[in-house]
Structure 1
């Protein structure tokens, strides 16, 4: 990483503002800086009913609808920030770069709705589309789960929960620098927490704050639906693509999850994005990291769909 970039990241990482105290302001800031300014796109705002409660989703259609693929997307933000508006740029690009329809889930956020509320929303939306794939003019095998950061955690947890409940089972999942463990203190077994936990925007302290807001009940942190790496059995999981970032404190736990999945007999590909920091997936679509990410994603989807034999 170039020296001037490292210095800038170090300065930006020194914020002393308390996430726990100012998370609402952080939400407003993210919405303000992520206004969509790109080309027109096709979308449909929809609601999934669970009992008498509505879960909003936003459906993005690609400019060139080249296939019947569907990506159910869970956004990042530490389970505390982010929504379908702040991730519109990401989802428009995802639809157009993959040719897939993208369904963005506006799950409930902590601390107002702690674990497992957001996860339950993600699971219920996914179940609805798996049980009624005609709603999206697709087959069950066309559906891929995808999420970044906390959203990657949710995608992995939905897949585990789907296997355990036996109501449906995704065939593909894409986890972008996912959180998969429950300890991000100095006691973490993963070197990347110590190596990258101070000077690369996402600090270990901030991850701990997110976890405190998402799972205030300490006992919940032992659930594999909160920390998938704690699952004793990782068999019968989807074909999985995991993309991590070199300077991300979550790097090692994401890669460890991929290795555990592989050891359990699942098909897994793991890529480390060199020179990248946590959050690169939300950069402008012509960023070198984003371009590379979609080349990897499309290669993975082509292999899963039988259109190619090897990933890049």
Structure 2
């Protein structure tokens, strides 16, 4: 059975990239260079300020980029983890998404340049993201943010990291996270999911690409079934903060996010799940690239603003 069809807007966007060989044929250095050398748009949302900082981590300083939007209405903050399969990506290459998140939510966004595999095997990525989230909460006053209005967000592999940080915060007694935003999260390893079977050659993320990134990310890892590494393996999802889950219809890992969202609902976690028709994996990396990308960021921003505006529970 053929997979779903790209939205015309998305199809034009994908066509603009031209032919893209599989990742394993290009090699990791070339794949990384391709991501980092892609120009960022000139018309990204304006920010009141952008600051480069480092947070202390257990294994050394962790680079951050802090975006403060021009329309900030309160001191809410989102700690953001970029995508890239745990093996590529940076604050620079995912700047358009981070800016759009800040502009849409009117919250300060702290974007985390976590260490990448395979040079830094798991759990280095989780350790860095968890450490920064705790640091933001503990240093809220000096950062000018409200620790009671702290959310986490991530796309693709970053969505998996956001889910993992949220699980760990629940299990370890903090920090308090008021919302989790999981954009087409890569938080499972079920290669028999119906969306994976239906779309092995999906644009921009094929089954071969997923296998290649998993092989690199798993290099030297002895315990791949840790729930903080693969959140879908968590047995208990109760007691987690409200979730905003976004998927794309034409994404082979679509079912991973949707199944996780259903499990959150089953655990009585307030969950908003939106599938965007005709959208490919990674459609929010350049949010202005498609009409539905712009819509998704507007809806994510509105949901976060509503959450941040709720009365504090204490």
TM-score where L is the length of structure 1: 0.89
Aligned-pair distance for 1:23?
A: 1.1
Counterpart position of 2:194? 191
Counterpart position of 2:35? 30
Matches of 1:147 and 1:197, distance apart in 2: 24
Aligned-pair distance for 1:77?
A: 0.6
Establish whether residue 70 from structure 1 lines up as the match of residue 77 from structure 2: yes
> Where do 1:1-312 residues align within 5 Å?
1=5, 15-18=21-24, 22-35=27-40, 37-38=42-43, 41=47, 42-51=49-58, 53-184=60-191, 188=192, 190-217=193-220, 219-285=222-288, 287-306=290-309
- Evaluate the alpha carbon distance shift between residue 243 and residue 236 of structure 1 in structure 2; reply closer, same or farther with a 3 A threshold: same
Q: Check whether the contact 1:182–1:222 (CA below 8 A) recurs between aligned residues.
A: no
Aligned residues: 303
Structure 1: tracts of 5 or more residues without a match: none
Matches of 1:3 and 1:61, distance apart in 2: 33
**1:8-29 deviations in whole A, cap 9, x for unaligned?**
969967724516x621222122
Matches of 1:3 and 1:304, distance apart in 2: 30
Q: Check whether the contact 2:104–2:302 (CA below 8 A) recurs between aligned residues.
A: no
More relative contact order, 1 or 2 (CA 8 Å, 6+ apart):
2
- Evaluate the alpha carbon distance shift between residue 8 and residue 124 of structure 1 in structure 2; reply closer, same or farther with a 3 A threshold: closer
Runs of 4+ in 1 over 3 A off after TM superposition: 1-14, 38-41, 305-308
Structure 2: tracts of 5 or more residues without a match: none
TM-score where L is the length of structure 2: 0.88
Aligned-pair distance for 1:301?
A: 1.8
Matches of 1:229 and 1:176, distance apart in 2: 15
